Amino acid sequence: MSKLVKQLEKLARGMDQPPMGFGFHAAQAKTPALLTLCLLDKENPKAAAAAASAGADFIAVPISPDNLKDASTILKAEHATCGAFCQNLSAEHLPALKKAGCDFVVFEPQQAPMAALRDEDDEGIGKVLVLDGLMEDSLAATAEQLNVDAVLLDIGDPPLTVQRIMVFQRTAGLTSKPVLAVVPVTLSSAEVEVLRDMGVQGLVVRVKDVKSAEAIANLRKTADGLAPPKKKRLKATAILPKITVRAAAEDDEEEEEEGDE
C-alpha cells in the first residue's frame, strides 16, 4: 500500500479516537497533526532534497512523457517518499512510474487516462484527484464513487478570506475522502489551525527552487506546534438531496383529506 495512503489512514484514526493511556500518547507524538507535501514545478533534485530536509513528508514531481526518464531519478531518491504529478500521461506510462518507485500519483480528471482508476492490489500506488473549486457540485460529487484515495483542492493565494474558505469547504464537503489543500507557504498559525479543524489532512506547497523549498520548514514548525483540537474534528460527508419523512407525511394527509371530500 502507498505510504501516503497509510499516513492519511493513520491521521483519520487519530481524528476518531479519544486520548487514552500512555500508548496512545506515544503513538500520537509520532503522528504529525498535518502532513506536509511539496509539489515541485519541475524536476529539480536539489529543491527536492531541500524540501525533504525542511520537513516535507512527501514530494510530488511533475512528470510528462517528455521528462519521464529524468524525473524517475528523483522518484528513486532516498531522502523522501516521492510521487508524481502526472501531466498528459497515457496508460502505458503508469507501470513505468510504479517500477521507478512512485508512491502516489496526483492527476487532473481532464488529462488523466481512464486506466488511472483501475483497481490495484495492496502494492499499488496511491491516487490523488485534483478538484477545481469552480466545478459544478454535481460533477465534483462524483469523486466519492471513483477509485481514488484522496482529493486535492487549491485554496488560492493570500489573502485567505472567509468566502475563500466557504468555496473550498463547499467542494471538500462533497466527498468523505481525505482532503489535501494547496496553500501558501506563509500560512499563519491561526490559518493552519482553521484548516486542520475543517478536516484538512495535508498541506501542499508549490516549490519553484531551493529557497522556496527551505521555507517549508516554517510551515512544518507551525503545523507541529498546533495545540490539540478542543473538540473532535468532523470531516464533512457528501451532501445529497433528500425528501424528509415529514414532508412526505404531509403530502399523504392532504391526499386523504381530498379523498374524504
Question: Where residue 156 sits, what CATH number does that domain have?
Answer: 3.20.20.70
**pTM given for the model:** 0.80
Q: What does the DSSP assignment read for 147-175?
A: S-SEEEEE--SSS--HHHHHHHHHHHTT-
Secondary structure element (H or E) that encloses residue 2, with its range: none
Cα gap 220→230, rounded to integer Å: 21
Q: Which of 74, 48, 57, 35 is nearest to 208 (CA)?
A: 48
Bigger pLDDT: 261 vs 36: 36
First-to-last alpha carbon distance for the chain, in angstroms, is 66
Range of the domain at 42: 3-260
Q: How far is the C-alpha of 158 from the C-alpha of 136, rounded, in Å?
A: 24
User: What's the pLDDT band for 101 if we cut at 50, 70, 90?
Assistant: confident
| Model confidence at 33: pLDDT above 60 | yes
Q: Are 228 and 25 in contact (CB under 8 A)?
A: no
**Does residue 10 contact residue 31 with C-beta atoms inside 8 Å?**
yes
Q: Contacts by 99-106 with C-beta closer than 8 Å and gap 24+?
A: 100/72, 100/75, 100/76, 101/75, 101/76, 102/75, 103/2, 103/3, 103/4, 103/58, 104/2, 104/4, 104/5, 104/58, 104/60, 104/128, 104/149, 106/39, 106/60, 106/130, 106/152
Give per-residue pLDDT as tens, 86-96.
877 777 777 77
* Average pLDDT score over residue span 60-67: 83
49 versus 66: which is more confidently predicted? Answer: 49
Taking only the tens place, the pLDDT of each residue in 157-193 is 888 899 999 999 999 999 999 999 999 999 999 999 9
Which stretches does DSSP call E strand in 76-173? 81-86, 104-107, 126-131, 150-154
**Hey, is 238 helix, strand or coil?**
coil
Q: For the chain, what is the domain count?
A: 1
- Rounded Cα distance, 129 and 147, in Å: 10
